[in-house]
Amino acid sequence: MQDLLIGLAFVLVIEGLIYALFPVAAKKLAAQINDISESSLRIGGVMALAAGVAGIWLIRG
């Protein structure tokens, strides 16, 4: 459970960095999200999920 909470905290850190360092780019991305097809978003989500699982697997063994 502690690992899950640490992982969620890291997500907040990364998102906070994006908004703090690149606020204009974050706003542009949010405005353009409606123009991206659902299938492209789904594929991107699956790829991010797979990369995250692979990273955890490599780190944790």
pLDDT at 3: 86
Number of domains in the chain: 1
CA dist., res. 29 & res. 44, Å (int): 14
- pLDDT at residue number 60: 87
Whole-prediction pTM: 0.68
Which pLDDT score, from 0 to 100, does residue 61 have?
81
CA 46 to CA 39: how far, in whole Å?
A: 10
* Residue bearing tokens 């690149």: 22
> Does residue 17 form part of some domain?
no
Could you tell me if residue 32 is inside a domain? yes
| Residue 1 falls inside a structural domain | no
Q: Is position 51 within any domain?
A: yes
Residue found under tokens 């692979």: 54
Mean pLDDT by 10 residues, the chain (61 residues): 90 94 94 94 95 91 81
Confidence at residue 48, expressed as pLDDT on a 0 to 100 scale: 94
List the domain range (segments joined by +) for residue 33: 24-61
